[in-house]
Structure 1
Amino acid sequence: MNNVLTEDLNSLLTSEIEWSNFKDKRILVTGATGLVGSMVVRSLIYANEKLDLGLEVIGLIRNQAKADRIYEGCMGKDALSFCLDDLSGDEPISLEGKVDYIVHAAAVTTSKVMVSDPVGTIDVALKGTKNILNLAVEKGTKGVVYISSMEIYGQSADPEDTRESDLGYVDLAAVRSCYPEGKRMCECMCTAYAAQHGIRISSARLAQTFGAGILPTENRVFAQFARSALRGEDIVLKTEGKSEGNYVYTIDAVKAILMLLYKGEAGQAYNVANESSHTTIRKMAELVSKTLSQEKSKVVIDIPADSKKLGYAPDVKMKLNSDKIEALGWKPTVGLTDAYRRMAEWMKEQKMI
């Protein structure tokens, strides 16, 4: 186990999470080979080892070899097993035994896939979520957290102080809208199941999440910026960088998700963002240059002629308000500069440069 991630996981053990809620529980995590899902799994099996919780963690995956690579050497993995399933299929999930909690993190997260396979993106979202919610009903699950996204807001109705009720405009004529509109429908489905079946389901609308624990295959903009800076290469923006980003550190996001499993209100959504970690893409690139390369890496704008085919999200101006989840006791601990420093340390240790 790597040092910076161990520090993060240890901080989780002494955080505001009430670990007694997970004693002797069986927890299913979908998307267990993605960033958010894998971090939730790592955190649970680590806490189980250190706190003797008697947990059983099931990672729902599509690729066993990928899962084996991700969890090789992880502390506490004896408590972890896997379920192979394609959530976008029409067949129900076959899983024996009880399921006390579910974290549903499986989703398409690559912009290029969203525009090259929008139908598949929708299928993963809608069919996958319906299959998970049917499983929760079947098992009488105590709590479900659906991993949503800040993209659900579209062009926010209140860009200066975006709260959970401030849904804005999403252009349905844009192919990439399959992602935010799919997230909206999945949240609507969660609300319907909560009302009709009495399952306590809440949605975590995550800001852009990154930090120690990112996977070697990660290619989203935060990882691209860090790699370029650590190599002393120019940081190349494929847009003008005007979008205002909302961010949250990996372990802070995990803390929010775990808290919502036992504290989240049925049918409710919660913004998960560090309000101090808010900036434009351009300014973030400049921060990365300064922090990781001492400004040796220059910020360059190079917009490709076929940029629409790459599936970049439209420019947005939005600042997420996190009052609702902070009222439950959640507090973010790692700001944007330290998030990049810690992620860079992780990338070096994992030879991801």
Structure 2
Amino acid sequence: MNLVNDEMNKIKKYVNEIDNLFDDLRGSTILITGSTGLIGSQLVKFLAAVNRINNLKIKIIALARNASKVSKVFGDLAKYPELEIIYGDILNDIQYEKQIDYIIHSASITASKDFVEYPVETIHTALSGTENMLKLAKDKKVKSIIYISSLEIYGITKEIDIKENEYGYIEHLNVRSSYSEGKRMAECLCCSYYKEYKVPVKIIRLTQSFGSGVMYDDNRVFAQFARGIIENKNIVLYTRGETMRSYLHTIDAAYAIITVLLKGKNGEAYNAANQDTMISIANMAQRLVENYPQSKSQVVFEVDKNIEKRGFNPVVKINLNTEKINELGWTPKFSLEDMYEDMIESMKISQKGEGIV
């Protein structure tokens, strides 16, 4: 089994089951930043599958920084004629002479530990990188650009069912806030480019997303849990796991992004989550070991009194309200169990080195 082929087959089945949203993309050129990241790579594969199924003649430009990661993530897909890999850094001007019709800006620092160890770089990537993409969108007169933001912009809030205009508190003097405050300011920059320069930008705020496409060495908490199951080891929690949030499958996330790109209103933000998946981290870990008894894994608490060094967020209870994106015709299809099943399968295949073909 090959990881890329397995993911493409899942996406093709998914695309065949949804309403046809994609005619507006026919003959278009789409630039995706952060293309080898989890969400960016799923977008490349999603659009490649849509292209093949509907013969839309879409040109996909994947912006990447590392050739070896391109090979690892895309395999033979990188040789598809409709996919062009270009190398560069969003902190620099992106040189592309031909027309670009759409931009999906997903590049970001995403590791929690980096937020506390490299807060300056985290902020700089959010602001300077996003401005470079907005400038490119302005110069190319794109039809639409979407900025991929995060549920973390809501901070600490008492609103469990939180809508796009409801915000909590962020301690901006805490370097861990480099990510959430950077995202907030990048969103403001997007709206400012729309107001001042009429750049047709939309914002999507994703909840934590996983499923197909997660690599074995991913160090986010959901991947750590999955590795425990795969390796028949205990799942260790360094907090009491009280944070509650909803989650989203990576394929559902890709479809949500395309939906907002094409149907969303300029200068506005949209939440994307599967509201039915809301669960605490501790209960998610416990449910996982119960669903995979063959692993003999157990949930073990080793509460760290100095959790700041790990980059963990303060305890929050937040379920993104998705009424606004639902009105555009989007609804999620995958459950939390589906997310873990697909992620564990992906991680097993990538562990064997079968993602490269």
Identify which of 34, 53, 57 aligns with 1:54: 57
**1:35-54 → structure 2 map (5 Å cutoff):** 35-54=38-57
Structure 1 residues 76 and 7: alpha-carbon distance in aligned structure 2, compared to 1, 3 A threshold? farther
Following TM superposition, by how much is the alpha carbon of 1:2 offset from its aligned partner in structure 2, in angstroms? 3.6
Q: Which residue of 1 aligns with 2:190?
A: 190
Contact 2:91 2:125 survives alignment (8 Å): yes
Match of 1:235 in 2: 235
CA distance in 2, matches of 1:304, 1:322: 34
Unaligned segments of structure 2, at least 5 residues: none
2:150 matched residue in structure 1: 149
3-state SS of paired residue (2:145): strand
Does 2:67 match 1:64? yes
Distance 2:77 2:106 in 1: 20
Give the equivalent residue in structure 2 for 1:209: 209
Q: How does 1:116-131 map to 2 (within 5 A)?
A: 116-131=117-132
Q: Deviations over 1:178-230 (max 9, x none)?
A: 00000000110111111122222111100000001113331101111011012
Alpha-carbon distance, 1:348 to partner: 2.5
Q: Distance in 2 between matches of 1:38 and 1:2?
A: 13
Q: Is the 8 A contact 1:17 1:258 kept in 2?
A: no
Name which of structure 1's ranges 136-145 and 9-18 shifts more when overlaid on structure 2. 9-18
Question: Residues 12-44 of structure 1: CA distance to partner in whole angstroms, max 9, x if unpaired?
Answer: 243134111110000000000100001001111
Q: Deviations over 1:270-322 (max 9, x none)?
A: 10000001000000001111122357211111123542111111111111110
1:246-257, aligned counterparts within 5 Å? 246-257=246-257
- CA–CA separation in structure 1 for the residues paired with 2:29 and 2:269: 24
Q: Is there any run of 5+ residues in structure 1 with no aligned partner, and where?
A: none
Distance of 2:150 and 2:55 partners within structure 1? 33
Is the counterpart of residue 259 in structure 1 residue 262 in structure 2?
A: no
- SS of the residue 2:110 aligns to: coil
Partners of 1:223 and 1:124 lie apart in 2 by 24
Tell me, yes or no, if structure 1 residue 331 matches structure 2 residue 295: no
Deviation at 1:159, TM superposition (A): 2.1
For residues 212-253 of structure 1, the C-alpha deviation after alignment (integer angstroms, 9 at most, x for no partner) is: 111333110111101101222111011110001220011100
Range with greater deviation from structure 2 (22-31 or 37-46): 37-46
Q: TM-score, normalised by structure 1?
A: 0.95
Q: For 1:343, give the aligned amino acid.
A: M
Partner of 2:224: 224
Q: Matched residue of 2:275: which SS?
A: coil
- Quote the residue 2:302 is aligned against: 302
Name the CA distance, whole Å, in 2 between partners of 1:332 and 1:281: 21
CA distance in 2, matches of 1:122, 1:239: 26
1:74 is aligned to 77
Matched ranges for 1:107-118 at <5 A? 107-118=108-119
Percent of aligned pairs with the same amino acid: 39
**Aligned AA (2:97):** E
Cα-Cα RMSD: 1.7
Moved more, 257-266 or 75-84: 75-84
After superposing the two structures, state which structure 1 stretch, 273-282 or 68-77, moved more. Answer: 68-77
Deviations 1:131-182 (A, max 9, x none): 00000000000011100000000012x4221000111100012111000000
State how many pairs are aligned. 350
Which amino acid in the other structure matches residue 127 of structure 2? L
Provide the rounded CA distance (Å) in 1 between the counterparts of 2:341 and 2:197.
Answer: 45
Q: Deviations over 1:28-68 (max 9, x none)?
A: 00000100001001111122123211111111111122112
The one of 28, 35, 44 aligned to 1:32: 35
